[in-house]
């Protein structure tokens, strides 16, 4: 923990202005905390730096590894002679995580790094004497971000240490784990204050957190804790803020619709700023090949070192209903010849009704997260954390759990109709519960939601063990899946506390790990 907490004790990595209108992305300079945090501009720059760190915490390897690949949505393309980091990812998907895995530590450390940044802002701003009209939105954003990170931590690691202020004294660097209940209380407190202090969204949005973002997080916490009345209150308030569904599903992810009315909160990226603000993550999900030009439009486009992750399974593809427009918008098929890494892409096909020809090889890949760009591995795609379709599905879920299925149907059917599907009429609470879980799987596919949905609805052990059987049967000729893989128990639903935190900080390890 010492290395994590000290990241911002001496210096603050800042983001300087690229425009006055949108979330500023350009990396700036480091300034000592002793001569900084004196003006409104200082706090806004530090806040932009905190947003930048959030990208690493919520859109890095560990995010999709633990949010999608540990679910039944995706698998990986196996390659021989892989380095240890790659092997560990393959083990993680099989629920064979260990406390010394790099992705486990990185997830933990990056979330605490963001929390450290937010704590500096929160702890310094009152002493400056700025007007409340200035400080409120800054504090609101910092507390939203801090709550968002603790929500991620508690769901993946259980009870964790709560740092509610910046650590500027070595004696305060090591504290014990708090209970799960106390972490959730802390998250709710931060989120409620963010709701009070943040403005309502204005359109077009600028990329900053708003009252919608804070209510979405707070509602998400309540629904996770099965407090459906409070969850419903938060989600219904969001419907009064001017959000709506875009006309068709594919348009949600188009570059021209970044921060649209459907957006609640998304991580900002830009390919136009040559200062490391692009999004390269989508390349990890593309096929191993020496030539990706048919997908990305760039040549040469070698992609043989770190790719083939988060591959949609055929079970996932077959789970879409006939006529569901989200299938073609979300997934595509690279068809060709040869095997990785010498796979030659000859055509890009729609997955709708697709069957692999006898003389071809096919690789499904995630289509909706990547769009045309000019420089290899420098995409302009934002990554959406929350959007309005999820609000509607959460309202449907809340109504159903409150035994009001008729009211739930109006909200789930808005989402289905946008996808070209007919209305659901089922009013059995149990049956509708399963329908809503499935609808979230399809609507929010590859947005790092599926695994936690399975956990919070109590379906993870059953579905992931069944998925393990499917994966082992489907890939039985590969011989690379371990016999003890996919043995999913309640203990394995959270990750181990990173080894260095148990050794250096003395934190107690989670049951089932060592």
How many angstroms separate the first and last alpha carbons of the chain? 18
Quick one: pLDDT at residue 350?
Answer: 98
User: Comparing C-alpha atoms, which of 367, 281, 299, 280 is closest to residue 328?
Assistant: 367
Per-residue pLDDT of 132-175, as tens digits, reads: 999 999 999 999 999 999 999 999 999 999 999 998 887 778 99
Work out the average pLDDT over 32-49. Answer: 87
Burial status of residue 250 (CB atoms within 10 A of its CB: 0-12, 13-18, 19 or more): middle
Asked if the model's pLDDT at residue 6 lies above 80, the reply is: no
Percent of the chain with pLDDT over 70: 92
Bigger pLDDT: 79 vs 250: 250
pLDDT, residue 24, reads: 52
Domains of the chain, earliest start first: 211-270+380-457 (1.25.40.390), 281-379 (no CATH)
Task: Return the residue matching tokens 């789930």.
Answer: 412
Q: pLDDT (tens digit, 9 = 90+) per residue, 281-307? A: 999 999 999 999 999 999 889 988 889
What is the three-class DSSP state of 371?
coil
**Calpha distance 300→463 (Å, rounded):** 41
Indicate the length of the chain as a whole number: 514
Amino acid 79: pLDDT: 74
CA dihedral of residues 140, 141, 142, 145 (deg, nearest 10): 120
Return d(Cα 278, Cα 379) in angstroms, integer: 6
Those residues whose C-beta lies under 8 Å from the C-beta of residue 468, and which sit 6 or more positions away, are 94, 95, 485, 486, 487, 488
Confidence tier at 478 by pLDDT (50, 70, 90): low
The residues, ordered by sequence, that sit 6+ positions from 272 with a Cβ below 8 Å of its Cβ are 380
CB atoms within 10 A of CB 87: 12
Q: What is the pLDDT of residues 484-509, one digit of tens each?
A: 999 999 999 999 999 999 999 999 99
Beta bridge partners of 364: 333
The structure tokens 């001496």 sit at: 10
Q: Residue 172: what pLDDT?
A: 79
pLDDT of amino acid 107: 97
Q: Are 231 and 394 in contact (CB under 8 A)?
A: yes
What pLDDT, in 10s, does the model give residues 167-215? 888 777 899 999 999 999 999 999 999 999 999 999 999 999 999 999 9
Q: Lowest mean pLDDT: which of 19-33, 165-179, 457-471?
A: 19-33
């Amino acid at each position: 923990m010492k290395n994590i907490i000290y990241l911002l004790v001496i210096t603050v990595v800042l983001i300087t202005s690229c425009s006055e209108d949108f979330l500023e992305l350009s990396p700036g300079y480091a300034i000592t905390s002793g001569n900084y945090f004196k003006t409104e501009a200082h706090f806004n720059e530090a806040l932009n730096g905190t947003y930048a760190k959030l990208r690493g915490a919520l859109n890095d390897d560990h995010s999709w590894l633990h949010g999608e690949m540990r679910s039944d949505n995706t698998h990986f393309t196996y390659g021989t002679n892989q380095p240890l980091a790659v092997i560990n990812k393959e083990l993680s998907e099989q629920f064979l995580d260990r406390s010394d895995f790099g992705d486990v530590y990185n997830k933990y450390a990056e979330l605490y790094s963001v929390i450290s940044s937010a704590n500096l802002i929160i702890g310094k701003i009152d002493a400056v004497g700025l007007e409340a009209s200035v400080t409120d939105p800054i504090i609101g954003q910092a507390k939203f971000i801090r709550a968002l990170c603790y929500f991620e931590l508690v769901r993946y690691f259980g009870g964790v240490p709560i740092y509610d202020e910046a650590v500027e004294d070595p004696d305060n660097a090591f504290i014990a784990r708090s209970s799960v209940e106390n972490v959730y209380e802390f998250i709710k407190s931060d989120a409620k204050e963010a709701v009070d202090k943040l403005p309502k969204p204005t359109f077009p949005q600028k990329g900053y957190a708003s009252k919608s973002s804070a209510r979405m997080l707070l509602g998400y916490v309540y629904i996770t804790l099965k407090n459906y009345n409070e969850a419903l209150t938060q989600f219904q308030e969001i419907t009064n803020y001017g959000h709506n569904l875009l006309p068709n599903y594919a348009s949600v992810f188009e570059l021209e619709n970044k921060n649209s009315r459907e957006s609640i909160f998304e991580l900002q990226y830009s390919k136009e700023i040559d200062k490391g603000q692009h999004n390269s993550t989508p390349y990890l999900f593309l096929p191993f090949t020496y030539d990706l030009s048919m997908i990305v439009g760039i040549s040469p486009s070698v992609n043989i070192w770190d790719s083939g992750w988060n591959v949609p399974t055929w079970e996932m593809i077959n789970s879409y209903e006939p006529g569901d427009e989200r299938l073609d918008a979300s997934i595509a098929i690279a068809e060709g010849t040869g095997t990785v890494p010498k796979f030659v892409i000859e055509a890009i096909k729609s997955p709708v009704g697709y069957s692999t020809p006898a003389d071809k090889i096919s690789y499904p890949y995630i289509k909706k997260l990547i769009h045309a760009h000019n420089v290899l591995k420098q995409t302009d795609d934002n990554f959406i954390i929350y959007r309005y379709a999820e609000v509607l599905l959460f309202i449907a879920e809340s109504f159903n759990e409150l035994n009001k299925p008729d009211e739930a149907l109006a909200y789930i059917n808005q989402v289905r109709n946008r996808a070209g599907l007919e209305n659901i009429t089922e009013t059995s609470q149990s049956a509708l519960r399963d329908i809503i879980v499935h609808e979230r799987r399809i609507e929010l596919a590859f947005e790092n939601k599926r695994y936690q949905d399975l956990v919070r609805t109590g379906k993870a052990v059953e579905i992931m063990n069944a998925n393990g059987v499917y994966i082992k049967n489907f890939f039985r000729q590969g011989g690379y899946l371990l016999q003890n893989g996919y043995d999913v128990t309640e203990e394995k639903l959270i990750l181990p506390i990173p080894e260095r935190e148990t050794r250096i900080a003395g934190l107690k390890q989670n049951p089932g790990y060592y």
